Structure 1
Amino acid sequence: MPRQRMAPGMWGKITVRCEGGMYIAMARVRDCDGQRRKAERNGASEEAARTALLAHLRERTAPVVGTLVTERTTLGELFDTYISSARVSEQSRDQYTNVWNLHGRKQIGALRVREFPASRADALLVGIARERAATAKTLRTVLSGMFKLAVRADVIPTNPVREVDLARATAPTPGLRRGPRALTSSEFATLRAAVVEYARVTVPGRNGPPPGRLLPAFLDLLLATGGRPDEVLALRWCDVDLLADPPTLTLSGTLIDHGRIKGRPLHRQAYRKGGAGDHTLLLPTTAVDSLAALISESGPGGPTPNAPVFANRDGGWMSLANMRRCLREARSEGMEWVKFRSIRPTVATAVRDALGPEHAQAQLSHARLSTTEAHYLERRTTGPDARAALERFAGARE
């Protein structure tokens, strides 16, 4: 009767030999790809070698031909494989590398793929989240992408990072629900008055225009569009059409500040966050007036089409870091909490209150309404006028 063929994952008889005082256990194993291979492990004694081989055989995974990830791959090597093939922007690639080098390479880089279970992933990420929530979120994205490669190579059955819950590390105090905060109309008026006053201040001994000269117009454009600050700063004059009826503006790029990408200076990226397409918006009168004033300051003939709308004194791109510094200096007492990113939820909330949440979503160019509602709309705390309905209900009782 012919010998029965081993099923994938099974192995044959284990033999042990002694060479130079070291015991070597060997067996033939049929891997999950159907190939028969020789597996060996050694030990200080016959029993130690046999035990080591059995442990290896129980967790053995077939090496996939041509794969870059095996059970012996370290997490440091896995990151290098992941980042070289990740389909992300140059800015994200640089950010992922920085976070990994600071919080991953030394901490877990020497571990092999199988030595990083869900419990260890949870301990690492939750520990970071208690101090730096944004950093933990980025590192989780990196680790999740890394272990997807290992799952696809059949080195591990499931992604251990998928089970990590960062929400419990950053959960608000029970009874207090955090949410976006929007400026009221009077708060915005106070902020703009302070910004206009700051824009008039000149620095003794400094040549050129006041450092805050662009701040009022920039604030007006943020409120008029609800755009992200780095997308509004990336505007060129060819993106603005003040002669249209009504006047329009198109957000089509992102300004990348100094140091955001290693080795790259301040520059304009020709696409928006996440690779989103161009977003055209109708301009209210306040924004049109601010843009017209900037045109008048550009001199005879006006600005060239590709020139920045918010140009520095040399005619180049204005750094967002400089604009933030000016805002910090311009804010009046009691307005310290306001940042440029506070304007986006302010616009969303104002549009929602006047036109409904769907219009707020369209203004901010979100793909999903849930994103607008969760992160940009200030929560309503006033109920509708339901008095008549409740009185009718109460009147129906006997």
Structure 2
Amino acid sequence: MPRQRMEPGEHGRITERVVKTKTPNGSHSETFYATTYVRDSDGKRRRVERSSLKSGEDARRLLQRHLKDRRPPVAATQEVTERTTLSELFEIWIVAKAAEDGVSEQTAGQYRQVWTKHAANQLGALRIREVDTTVAHGHVQRMGATTQAKRLRMILLGMFSMAVRFGVIAVNPIRETKPTKAAPKEVTRKISSEDLERVRAALREYADREGPGPRPGRLLPAFVDLLVATGARPNEVLALRWSDCNVGGDPPTVTIRGTLIDHGRIVGKPLHRQDRRKGGAPEHTVKLPRVGVDALEELKSHTSGEGPVFANRDGGWVSLSNMRRSLRAALPEDLRATITPHTFRRAVATVVRDNLGPEKAQQQLSHAKLATTEKHYLQRHTEGPDVRAVLDEYTGVRE
């Protein structure tokens, strides 16, 4: 008897499999996958999969949860009408955004999280023509001066631009909306040499403490030293592999080629390495000062193979969330409120600017534009240069 064909919306039997990966220390790590096929409303049969590092049952549970909320892919050419709700429009827009603009899974996941939390229940049931500038502006303003408000405005702007292209409305009502303006944010003050030495001493003491069980801060001193040595983003440092390091070179270097994506940043995916930098930026090679060389040599003495420089006990990647938690626990109490892993990138930028100029700071941080470095990473000068001789000459006044 031939197998009965699935009805649109149904899925088949869920199968499980385990993939074992050999780690640099010779052990094996396991990733569990749960897979099924879904027949969508367009009649096409599509493979759907979720993974877990815990167990096959956990992967199955994640897949079942995804199937419950899953919406079938929508063609960008599907008709948008005046009866289309904003929730329906969002689904059409997010698919078109990925197809036309090539946004990453991580970015699409961030858009979906913002929509789910701040708009799906608040605006989702409204039809396109029922949302005008007043409604949208009021909603965005109530969210306050937050990054989420700016991101939601960008999402709504894209959605209603699509509605304009379909001829449902003539003018995009989101263009005149404005999120609440935040007060100018001063760049975190650079960490003084004295405070940096206090931080490094506190991290070494935290990593070397004695007691039962594993020590979660054992990699912390080397992590902070490499942040200071490179000025790289924290997840770029954690994504380093030994093949990216040339400690014996003249000069010694590391080349930043990827970044870590933490668990949950992309729905259904665990912590993993993305083999490209933020925004698709090119590879960036940094010359290492002595502190960076010492950190790598210390790490190399405890690891083997060509895998992660910062490897957990199973040889896998280390989460920034765990590093951030350990840093907070290790820091002196008076510095906990002001120092995070990203603070060291800003501190490096300011130190390089003060000694070598802003262009060198831009090059060290690998920014495409000097304006980005100056606006977000350099502590502002609050004392003018000594230009007395120039002004005396200009005015003709002499002592």
The alignment's TM-score, normalised by the length of structure 1, stands at: 0.76
Q: Does the CA-based 8 Å contact 1:222-1:343 persist in structure 2?
A: yes
1:76 and 2:87 equivalent? yes
1:57-88 C-alpha deviation (Å, 9 max, x unpaired) = xxxxxxxx955322222111110001112231
1:137 paired residue among 150, 154, 159: 150
> Within 5 Å, which residues of 2 pair with 1:100-179?
100-130=115-145, 133-166=146-179, 168=181, 170-171=182-183, 178-179=186-187
Q: Does the CA-based 8 Å contact 1:68-1:81 persist in structure 2?
A: no
Q: Does the CA-based 8 Å contact 2:256-2:283 persist in structure 1?
A: yes
Higher relative contact order (Cα pairs below 8 Å, separated by 6+ residues) = 2
Distance 1:367 1:152, change over 3 A: farther
In structure 2, give the amino acid aligned to 1:374: K
1:332 and 2:343 equivalent? no
Instruction: Report SS of the residue matched to 2:372.
Output: helix
* Identity of matched residues, %: 53
Q: Residues of 2 paired with 1:355 and 1:148: CA distance? A: 45
Q: Residues of 2 paired with 1:181 and 1:88: CA distance? A: 34
1:371 equivalent in structure 2 = 372
Bigger Rg over Cα: 1
1:321 equivalent in structure 2 = 321
1:190 and 2:201 equivalent? no
**Could you tell me how far 1:334 is from its partner in structure 2?**
1.1
1:22-71 C-alpha deviation (Å, 9 max, x unpaired) = xxxxxxxxxxxxxxxxxxxxxxxxxxxxxxxxxxxxxxxxxxx9553222
Q: Residues of 2 paired with 1:125 and 1:243: CA distance? A: 53
1:261 paired residue among 263, 266, 271: 266
Q: Residues of 1 paired with 2:176 and 2:376: CA distance? A: 24
In structure 2, give the amino acid aligned to 1:244: G
1:217 paired residue among 214, 222, 232: 222
Distance 1:264 1:369, change over 3 A: same
Q: Does the CA-based 8 Å contact 2:186-2:379 persist in structure 1?
A: no
Q: Residues of 1 paired with 2:347 and 2:160: CA distance? A: 39
Instruction: Report SS of the residue matched to 1:129.
Output: coil
1:205 and 2:205 equivalent? no
In structure 2, give the amino acid aligned to 1:388: A
1:88-132 C-alpha deviation (Å, 9 max, x unpaired) = 1111111211111111111111112222222222211121124xx
Q: Does the CA-based 8 Å contact 1:251-1:278 persist in structure 2?
A: yes
Q: Residues of 2 paired with 1:239 and 1:249: CA distance? A: 6
Q: How many residues align?
A: 318
2:308 equivalent in structure 1 = 308
Q: Does the CA-based 8 Å contact 1:360-1:372 persist in structure 2?
A: yes
Q: Does the CA-based 8 Å contact 1:180-1:375 persist in structure 2?
A: no
**Could you tell me how far 1:205 is from its partner in structure 2?**
2.7
Q: Residues of 1 paired with 2:234 and 2:92: CA distance? A: 34
> Within 5 Å, which residues of 2 pair with 1:264-275?
264-275=269-280
Q: Residues of 1 paired with 2:135 and 2:261: CA distance? A: 35
2:6 equivalent in structure 1 = none
Structure 1: gaps spanning 5 or more residues: 1-64
Q: Residues of 2 paired with 1:103 and 1:159: CA distance? A: 20
1:297 equivalent in structure 2 = 302
2:114 paired residue among 99, 123, 133: 99
The alignment's TM-score, normalised by the length of structure 2, stands at: 0.76
Instruction: Report SS of the residue matched to 1:243.
Output: coil
Instruction: Report SS of the residue matched to 2:254.
Output: strand
In structure 2, give the amino acid aligned to 1:318: V
In structure 1, give the amino acid aligned to 2:173: P
Instruction: Report SS of the residue matched to 1:162.
Output: coil
**Could you tell me how far 1:167 is from its partner in structure 2?**
5.0
> Within 5 Å, which residues of 2 pair with 1:28-67?
67=78
**Could you tell me how far 1:156 is from its partner in structure 2?**
2.6
Q: Residues of 2 paired with 1:142 and 1:252: CA distance? A: 30
Instruction: Report SS of the residue matched to 2:286.
Output: strand
1:34 equivalent in structure 2 = none
In structure 2, give the amino acid aligned to 1:125: V
Q: Residues of 2 paired with 1:293 and 1:382: CA distance? A: 41
Q: Residues of 1 paired with 2:83 and 2:374: CA distance? A: 45
Supply the RMSD in Å over aligned alpha carbons.
1.9
